[in-house]
Amino acid sequence: MKFCFELIKKEANTQARLGLLRTLHGVVKTPVFMPVGTQATVKSLTPEDLKDIAVEIILANTYHLYLRPGAEIIRELSGLHRFMNWDLPLLTDSGGFQIYSLGELSKVSEGGLTFKSPFDGSEHFLSPEEVMKIQENLGADIIMTLDECTSYPATYDHTLNSLELTTRWAGRCKQVKSREDQALFGIIQGGMFPELRRKSAEQIVGIGFDGYGIGGLSVGETKSMMWEMVECTLPFLPEEQPRYLMGLGKPEDLVEAISRGIDMFDCVLPTRNARNGSLFTSEGKVVIKNSNYARDRGPLDPNCNCYTCRNYTRAYLRHLFLAQEILSARLNTIHNLYYYINLIDQVREAIEENRLLQFQKEFREARKA
């Protein structure tokens, strides 16, 4: 089945949208939050756990899977879906951001990215063509072009050169893509310069992709700068194709981004915070190690119906966390991901009923309480 995106509805009072991503491995309702399964696993959870939470699509990372166990091994074992026992849609990112994060261990050239493995120090080179080959071997439903994530802060000239390199890489990725059952998304860069965001969007859309990622944000800029860059990019993206704001993860930011017309998100925040004992609830953030929960018989969130909240007390969750038990990460991750998936469900319902502005107001007030 060839990938397609169906735009179902636009909310009356905002730019929010409802849509469907149709892939070989199933249909995904948008807006959607994609849990991050960096190394072919969402840490501490099984695929069955994810389905119980109603996760429809997850993200895996090309860079990490290239380093271990290797894309060729995954291909020989019938692809990433079979390898990780996940039969619903998958998205793989290109690894550009992860290599950018290596700092001095990486080097950018016209040909691609050279970097040293953080595991054994071995040197590697990934070109746009090689990144496409790796992602085709992995077999995700949605794959991403290789891009250069511009550092922050950066000069105008550096940002311009970076986005033009990203454009050339995007063209090379599209040229060598061979699998018809995979969707290829291009990535918009341009740093914190509105005119460069527009230039990047026009260039990437001009090449033509199945969807578009907005990259290079949430890298240290202020919140107002981030929203300005989103606002100056969206008008130049096709309305009939999905829009993916990469790496955005705070609940209030997801709601705000959806109201501006974003369809897809991913972030490690809910799973990483869960392992660190920082939990999202309808009543605000809970830091479960705090002593005031030592004798708390109540559920983590009285308004939550996840497995953790139905079965365990705050006192027990605190005990598990302080004892560094493996079950702590599992129960906390189940809850945090349920919170995110349920939040997006509520947002979709508000869009359907043309009351997203009211939902936003009530959501902000609840988080301030």
Higher pLDDT, 354 or 95: 354
268-307 pLDDT, tens digit per residue, is 999 999 999 999 999 899 999 999 999 999 999 999 999 9
SS3 labels along 307-337 = HHHHHCEHHHHHHHHHCCCHHHHHHHHHHHH
Cite the active site residues: 93, 266
pLDDT, average across residues 3-20: 97
Q: Calculate the CA dihedral of residues 250, 253, 257, 258 and round it to 10 degrees.
A: 70
Average pLDDT, the chain: 96
What is the pLDDT at residue 2? 87
pLDDT, average across residues 308-329: 98
Confidence of residue 97 (pLDDT cuts 50, 70, 90): confident
Q: Where are the domains of the chain?
A: 4-267, 274-368
pLDDT, average across residues 246-272: 97
CA angle 51, 56, 62 (to 5 degrees): 105
Residue 99 has pLDDT above 90, yes or no: no
Global pTM? 0.97
Q: Domain 4-267's class?
A: alpha beta
